[in-house]
Amino acid sequence: MQFLVATTLILAVSSFLAKSTDVIAIKTGLGRTFIGVLLLASATSLPELATGLSSVTVIGLPDLAAGDAFGSNLVNLLIIGLMDIKWRNGPILNSFDTGIILVAGLGILLISLAAIAIIVHHSWSVGGTWFLSPFSLVLISAFLFSLYLVFWNEKSKPNDDPLTDYSNNSLGFSVLVYLLSASVIVGSAIWLAFTGEQIARVMNWESSFVGTQFLAFSTSLPELAASFAALRILAPELAISNVLGSNLFNMGFVLWADDLAYSGGVFWSAISPIHTVTASVAVIMTIVVILGVIRRDRKRPSKFLTYESVALISLYLLASMLIYLAA
């Protein structure tokens, strides 16, 4: 019942979060891509941060924290495939400019760095006496630099021309709505994540599988709800920057914070190498997104599906099967 109530709250408030964020993007002239990454992605990704910190400090399961972060990347990329099915104006990846390629490319960089951190720490004793792994310092630095690059790229583009008329929406009121709706969504999603942990313990599911599948879906529900709400207001750039920006947040900020909070040794050595498989699939899924944005001359092969949506959904199912078999 707690799980259902928290889910209902997230779905109910997501439209307010998406619309207020879109108004802020248009009124400030900062662009949907940058605001989507900065405001929408950070608001919808805070549950991953809360779940990760609670996993490493309260219940002592760093593998659950890592599984949630890496698994959320897969769910976020799956959301793009689902949005493609929902979007009726041709393949949804036809709607985006090169700014999305930049965000996706930066996502590949951060996911790859996180995977390399796992491989190196499981192979050699790197940073074993450090309070924080050198790789975590690299990740947080890369995350902050990524935000700067996205901001710089948005400044060089013409302002977005919204299909929705926001002339009657004030910036101040939209900021207030954003703060209130973000607070409700973050609180509900954190509640959702904790109930997910409780369900996982009761069901006695293995931590890496639970983190990658069950908890990752729970903490990614805000991204799903907010992205589809953005589609309803005809703001696909906001929707995709939300999910791709969430991947940057998961890898660059959440894993850095998890390592900072973990006191049981080296965080990267304490988590399962299976997360490198999840990371590899996430990189391939992101490449599919990039190729879809580059190839603008394609049509839908059927009424609902595109090659990209089929590839993203299939890769997600493949990763799920691999994690389940390895669990």
Percent of the chain scoring above 90 in pLDDT: 42
| 132 DSSP 8-state letter | S
Instruction: Note whether 83 and 247 are within 8 A (CB).
Output: no
* Predicted pLDDT at 247: 96
Helices then strands (H, E): number in the chain?
14, 0
Whether the pLDDT of residue 206 is over 80: the answer is no
Q: Which two tokens stand for residue 277?
A: 């498989």
For the residues 219-232, what does the mean pLDDT come to?
87
Average pLDDT, the chain: 86
Check residue 196 and give its pLDDT.
67
State residue 52's pLDDT score: 85
Q: Please give the Cα distance from 242 to 224 (Å, whole number).
A: 9
Q: Cβ(91)–Cβ(84) under 8 Å?
A: yes
Q: What beta strand segments (E) does the chain contain?
A: none
In angstroms, the CA 71 to CA 49 distance is 13
Do 251 and 225 form a contact (C-beta atoms < 8 A)? no
| pLDDT score, position 163 | 65
H or E element: which one contains 23? Answer: helix 2-28
In tens, the pLDDT along 69-118 reads 998 999 999 999 999 998 877 788 888 877 899 999 999 999 999 999 99
Residue 26: Cβ within 10 Å count: 23
Around 53, how many Cα atoms within 13 Å sit in the side-chain half-sphere?
A: 13
Instruction: Map out the domains of the chain as residue ranges.
Output: 2-326
Whether the pLDDT of residue 209 is over 80: the answer is: no
Return the H-helix or E-strand segment holding 218.
Answer: helix 216-232
Cβ 65 vs Cβ 136: under 8 Å: no
**Homologous superfamily in CATH for domain 2-326:** NCX, central ion-binding region (1.20.1420.30)
Of 275, 276, 258, which is closest to residue 267 (Cα–Cα)? 258
Kindly tell me if the per-residue pLDDT of 325 is higher than 80: no
